[in-house]
Chains A and B, each alone.
Chain A
């Protein structure tokens, strides 16, 4: 399944530029208000015109990683909430919901994803035993986070990967490197990342969650989709990967039909690093 082979399938199923088209904007206008994405309570959902009602697909995604790597900031960025300016430990579990419409590349079908992120403070997980099971139960995917400026968080991640592969867990997994804007201070080399990817066959996304430079408010009012553009690449990679892996494990899709395999000996290295660059937010 997901852990047997790593297929580079990104961009093969979802139309990655659809949200810029008029048809796509019609959907996105329901989840964007005044340049920012709308936040929904549990009793609400995006209201679309009746002729546009798409199929709703819900995923539960758990974020895991060392304290302080930026789990909360990453979720805030992805769902469209203000990224916290000072670090504060998450005291227990906090769940976030984001809606994201996607059009399939090979058909006219539009899917509306409802992604629920489960974020839990690392200290709380260690202190209270009910928290980790609650986060993992029924999770469709796990995002493992490390920080480019914290070598320990990357080493933690490696030991975590080997632990989970030993326990034979079958779960869809992606890796997210945070604080990519501080790349010049990176404590992890590109080579190490490539080795990591080859060893564990997981996609690695890179993200920077820092606040916008001042004066960008103006930009938002001119182009109301700016905030969506900012996270679109990461959201697409994330959703597409989970969606494809689910289809593969349910047998609806066969990977051989879809793609060229990313070889372990690094033949596709060029493509690989392209893909990594593309996921830069």
Chain B
């Protein structure tokens, strides 16, 4: 298949029985896929199915096509530019997309498709989150199946009002997000899978600024058939408290009577948080980070959370300042480095564990890979796997090779020892 646009991504969703198109999404400038092309994509897969062959993926000169059938009822096809990365990340993305559909309309409706026309209409609610997942953003949660968090000094302070608020709403599931990143959450919230936390964070991030909402949500793994209500209230623009509940409280009650008593005294902390998330460093200013480090991604595979920044400041006059990397380039590099490393050298950590391991290449080594690095014309990368942490670092080319390891180890120590990325669950 020829790709007009090298960045284009296409997603096609069809019924497995009969191949009726349910929806398509695309990213990039190219025009949407023609009906005949969608039919062809389905035809290939149907041919394989009729011969008892599971079709997983294929590569063309420029693109990679991945098929995945969910619950024998929905087929998702993803077409992306081929960059040689392992299939596992594409399968993860498809898994997220299917579970986004579960999250909004429930597993029952998807397993037994009765009325295709109605299903098409119902699925329109998923577009916001699906489009968000298809775009290569500064959020890494979708990629590493761990929720993006914000580390700021206020994290601990805000735990108390959160607990009070969630209690007053007669619930135990609740959390506080700041511009798409999790700031603090209740123990129960942390007991959700990485995928659930990531998809919920993505949804909350797609809500219009300053709004409050009351949305029926099927937790993709904890409760795929019974909906709960997710109340999300903007305390400040971008700062959103969310609670999962049943019939009570109503949105109007929560807005009118529950918010003030719990949060009024903490406005300044919330503001500090809001400011920290907008600055884009996502770690406290007090932490010292080597000036050669331009960006990093730290994943805690136990708790399914990740901390990342592609906007670390460049010190004026430092070596890194001579050939600076733009923020979006750092993000690209970090993203590609992660996808090249995890699934080939480092193990993949699915949350929840997937029964269908397609794309998870078993390690070709007899030993566990602990560290790896990569050099390019305009950057250097270093990765460390120290269970439960996986750290990926983008450095300036000015950093000498022999220093890569030590500054990365230092960063890992700083971030994992500091209380900002600590386990805030009481149980552990």
For residue A39, CB closer than 8 A to chain B, the reply is yes
Decide: B208 and A41 in contact? CB cutoff 8 A: no
Say whether chain A's binding surface is mostly helix, strand, loop, or mixed.
Answer: loop
Residue ID in chain A nearest B237 by CB atoms? A39
Residues of A within 8 A of B235 (CB): 41-43
For residue B250, CB closer than 8 A to chain A, the reply is yes
For residue B373, CB closer than 8 A to chain A, the reply is no
For residue A121, CB closer than 8 A to chain B, the reply is yes
Decide: B125 and A134 in contact? CB cutoff 8 A: no
Given contacts A41-B236, A134-B250, contact A95 B212 (CB under 8 A): yes
Residues of A within 8 A of B264 (CB): 43
Residue ID in chain A nearest B263 by CB atoms? A43
Chain B residues touching A, range: 35 or more
A173–chain B nearest beta-carbon distance, Å: 20
Decide: A96 and B125 in contact? CB cutoff 8 A: no
Taking a contact as CB atoms closer than 8 A, the residue among A39, A67, A88, A91 that contacts B215 in the complex is A91
CA distance A165 to B284 in the complex (A): 59
CA distance A93 to B214 in the complex (A): 5
For residue B243, CB closer than 8 A to chain A, the reply is no
Residue ID in chain A nearest B209 by CB atoms? A39
CA distance A76 to B208 in the complex (A): 8
Docked complex: B248-264 residues within 8 A CB-CB of A: 250-252, 255, 259-260, 263-264
Residues of B within 8 A of A92 (CB): 213-216, 229-230
For residue A9, CB closer than 8 A to chain B, the reply is no
Residue ID in chain B nearest A88 by CB atoms? B127
A123–chain B nearest beta-carbon distance, Å: 6
Decide: B252 and A42 in contact? CB cutoff 8 A: no
Taking a contact as CB atoms closer than 8 A, the residue among A41, A87, A88, A95 that contacts B251 in the complex is A95
Residues of A within 8 A of B252 (CB): 134, 137-138
Docked complex: B125-159 residues within 8 A CB-CB of A: 125, 127-128, 131
Decide: B125 and A89 in contact? CB cutoff 8 A: yes
Residues of A within 8 A of B211 (CB): 94-97
Residues of B within 8 A of A220 (CB): none
Most buried by B among A72, A90, A95: A95
A100–chain B nearest beta-carbon distance, Å: 15
Docked complex: A3-51 residues within 8 A CB-CB of B: 39-44
Taking a contact as CB atoms closer than 8 A, the residue among B124, B125, B131, B212 that contacts A42 in the complex is B212
Residues of B within 8 A of A137 (CB): 250, 252
CA distance A72 to B230 in the complex (A): 19
For residue A105, CB closer than 8 A to chain B, the reply is no
Decide: B215 and A81 in contact? CB cutoff 8 A: no
Residues of A within 8 A of B230 (CB): 92
Decide: A42 and B259 in contact? CB cutoff 8 A: yes
Decide: A39 and B127 in contact? CB cutoff 8 A: no
Docked complex: A134-172 residues within 8 A CB-CB of B: 134, 137-138
For residue B207, CB closer than 8 A to chain A, the reply is yes
For residue A231, CB closer than 8 A to chain B, the reply is no
Residues of A within 8 A of B125 (CB): 88-91, 121, 123-124
Docked complex: A110-128 residues within 8 A CB-CB of B: 121, 123-124, 127-128
CA distance A121 to B104 in the complex (A): 12
CA distance A128 to B227 in the complex (A): 10
Residues of B within 8 A of A42 (CB): 212, 233-235, 255, 259
Residues of B within 8 A of A95 (CB): 211-213, 251, 255
Residues of A within 8 A of B267 (CB): 43
Decide: A81 and B124 in contact? CB cutoff 8 A: no
For residue B122, CB closer than 8 A to chain A, the reply is yes
For residue A130, CB closer than 8 A to chain B, the reply is yes
For residue A86, CB closer than 8 A to chain B, the reply is yes
Residues of A within 8 A of B121 (CB): 67, 89, 123
Docked complex: B178-219 residues within 8 A CB-CB of A: 207-216
B283–chain A nearest beta-carbon distance, Å: 24
Residues of B within 8 A of A87 (CB): 124, 127
For residue B52, CB closer than 8 A to chain A, the reply is no
Decide: B214 and A44 in contact? CB cutoff 8 A: no
CA distance A130 to B231 in the complex (A): 13
B27–chain A nearest beta-carbon distance, Å: 12
Contact pattern, B 222-240, Cβ under 8 Å of A = 1, otherwise 0: 0000010110011111010
Residues of B within 8 A of A124 (CB): 125, 215-216
CA distance A94 to B216 in the complex (A): 12
Decide: A81 and B213 in contact? CB cutoff 8 A: no
For residue B88, CB closer than 8 A to chain A, the reply is no
CA distance A42 to B211 in the complex (A): 9
A66–chain B nearest beta-carbon distance, Å: 11
For residue B37, CB closer than 8 A to chain A, the reply is no
Residues of B within 8 A of A134 (CB): 214, 250-252
Decide: A39 and B210 in contact? CB cutoff 8 A: yes
Residues of B within 8 A of A76 (CB): 208
Taking a contact as CB atoms closer than 8 A, the residue among B212, B215, B236 that contacts A44 in the complex is B236
For residue B61, CB closer than 8 A to chain A, the reply is no
A229–chain B nearest beta-carbon distance, Å: 21
Residue ID in chain A nearest B106 by CB atoms? A127
For residue B270, CB closer than 8 A to chain A, the reply is yes
CA distance A91 to B267 in the complex (A): 29
A178–chain B nearest beta-carbon distance, Å: 17
Decide: B234 and A41 in contact? CB cutoff 8 A: yes
For residue B418, CB closer than 8 A to chain A, the reply is no
Contact pattern, A 57-98, Cβ under 8 Å of B = 1, otherwise 0: 000000000010000100010010100001111111111110
Extra A-B contacts (20), CB below 8 Å, given A130-B247, A137-B252: A40-B237, A41-B237, A42-B233, A43-B259, A43-B263, A72-B208, A76-B208, A79-B210, A86-B127, A87-B127, A88-B127, A90-B125, A91-B125, A94-B211, A96-B208, A96-B211, A121-B125, A127-B216, A128-B216, A130-B229
Closest 4 CB pairs of A and B: A92-B215, A39-B210, A89-B124, A41-B236
Residues of A with Cβ closer than 8 Å to B? Answer: 39-44, 67, 72, 76, 79, 81, 86-97, 121, 123-124, 127-128, 130-131, 134, 137-138
Enumerate 28 A-B pairs (CB-CB under 8 Å) in ascending A order. Answer: A39-B210, A40-B210, A41-B239, A42-B234, A42-B235, A43-B236, A67-B121, A79-B210, A81-B209, A81-B210, A86-B127, A87-B127, A89-B124, A89-B125, A90-B125, A91-B215, A91-B216, A92-B229, A93-B215, A94-B211, A95-B211, A95-B213, A96-B211, A97-B211, A121-B125, A134-B252, A137-B250, A138-B252
